[in-house]
Each structure stands twice: as structure tokens, then as C-alpha cells.
Structure 1
Amino acid sequence: MASVTGSSFAISSLSSSFNPNKAYLKTSSLSIKGISIPSLRLKPVTRRFSISCAAKPETVDKVCEIVKKQLALPSGSAVNGESEFAALGADSLDTVEIVMGLEEAFGITVEEDNAHTIKTVKDAADLIEGLVTKKC
């Protein structure tokens, strides 16, 4: 609690005892020159924490080449990790063919649920890294 002469301002501590992903400012009150604002309850603040393992550059490069081949893109086409399949002109059938090409090239099997999450070259490379690691 903090206070100032003639005015007071109090804030309770942050608490994250029940859920480490959410911090709650429990209560606060403010009083200035006799005008009092009652305690306030504030909504939880969600903190995000994520860990990601980037795919190896050679994996990303190989995925780029497979995508270019499957979509019959000119050799000079700019395809990188951030390239989205849809932006490259791929429809759902093209995406299925890309996944099949990746499975063949890397000797993996991509489950249907995982295939639906692939939107970019990086998504595909990260998934491949995970599956190859799991396979070994």
C-alpha cells in the first residue's frame, strides 16, 4: 500500500498463485481530497510464453524447392520461410500435393490434423523437423 499526504492510493499485489499464465491485480482504491473511489476489481491479464524451435535452414530450403516444384513456379520465384501457400497460388489440392511431396522427400508421414495447420513454408519445415526428430 502506498499513501501520499492529503491523498491516498492503494494497490494490492499482483497474484498468480492459481494459474501461472494469468496475473490478477486484486484490488485498488483511490482517495483524493475526500473524494473516494471504491475498490476496483480488474480483469485478469494473460501473459503469453512460448518456446519454438526453428527448423534448420537446409530443411527450409528443401521445403522451398518442393513447393516451387509442386506449384510449377518459375525458378526465379521468391519463396522463403514466411511464404504462405495461398499467396503463392496454392489451393487445397495443391497443399495436399505439397504435403505428399514432403512426406516422400523426408520419409515421414504427416497426420491429417497436422496437415491442416500448415499455412507457410516455415510451418511445414517446423512440422518436418518435429516428425524427423520423433522418428529418430
Structure 2
Amino acid sequence: MATVSASSSVRFASSLKLSNSTTPQVSGRPSSLKHISVGWTKKNFPSLRSTGFRVSCSAKPETVQKVCEIVRKQLALSADTKLTPESKFAALGADSLDTVEIVMGLEEEFGINVEEDSSQNITTVQEAADMIEKLVQKNPAS
């Protein structure tokens, strides 16, 4: 349920709950919620500058963790090197060959095939994890 106050703020209340595994739950069942889009017309709310917004859920934490492990191994990073979803491969010292090796490691670990065009767009841990989840969802054998 969405409510709009006089100051044009939007507040949402729903039955969406996060379990300990960070899997979205709706009424006790796992949810495949990926995107939420809400729109309204300026006719109804003339003071609003935007006509919509989108909330996007990112890759599962365990996918991000596996990507971090593969990146750490491929780049021979020490255990004290901090890796976050925002970590850029180039900032960690990776060149184009290192990035290809990271992608090959991801393909092997997750049983996916990454097209060359897609692999050239991967620059961070989060981008790699998001791409993996998309490819795993497309591949019914996984």
C-alpha cells in the first residue's frame, strides 16, 4: 500500500519481509522480486518533479562472495585486501588479461558462458555478480 502526504513523499507498507538468508519473502514464500516500478501523473501530484522511480535488488550475497573469492585468487590478492561489491578490477591491479581470466574463472565456477561483449562491460565485483545471476536464471540446467 502506498500513501502520499501533502509534502509529496511516498511511503510503502507491504508484506515483504527479509529472512535471515536475505531472500525476499512474501507471506512466508520465497519471492523472485527483482524490480519495483511506481508511476503517477503530475496531474494528480503537480509538485512532483519525477514521474516514477525504480528499486532494484542486486545479486545474492553468496554470489558476490564467490566472485570476491575468484577475484582474490586470480589477482593473487592478500587476505587483508578489502573487496567490496564496488571494488573495481582495475583499481585492484587487473589488466585486460586478468579480467579475461576472472571471467573464465566465473564461467567455470557457475557453469555459465559469458559472451565477449558482456565480459568487456564487467569492471566491478557487483557487475560480475549481477551478470552471473542473469545468466544463471536464463540457463535452466543450473
Percent of residue pairs identical: 64
AA matched with 1:113:
D
| Aligned counterpart, 2:130 | 126
Equivalent positions of 1:61-76 (< 5 A) are: 61-76=65-80
Q: What do you get for the CA RMSD once the two structures are aligned? A: 1.9
Which ranges in structure 2 are unaligned for 5 or more consecutive residues? 1-38, 43-48
Alignment length (residue pairs): 94
Alignment of 1:45-84 (within 5 A): 49-50=53-54, 52-84=56-88
Query: Which of these two proteins has the greater Rg computed from alpha carbons?
Result: 1
- Measure, in 2, the Cα distance between the counterparts of 1:59 and 1:70: 17
Q: Are the aligned partners of 1:53 and 1:126 in contact in 2 as well (CA < 8 Å)? A: no
* Cα distance in 2 for residues equivalent to 1:112 and 1:84: 19
Using structure 1 for the length normalisation, give the TM-score. 0.63
Cα deviation, residue 51, structure 1 = 5.4
Instruction: Report the counterpart of residue 113 of structure 2 in structure 1.
Output: 109
**Aligned equivalents of 1:70, 1:50: Cα separation in 2:** 35
Structure 1 portions without partners, runs of 5+: 1-19, 24-44
Runs (4+) of structure 1 exceeding 4 A deviation are: 45-51
Structure 1 window deviating more from structure 2 (87-96 vs 51-60): it is: 51-60
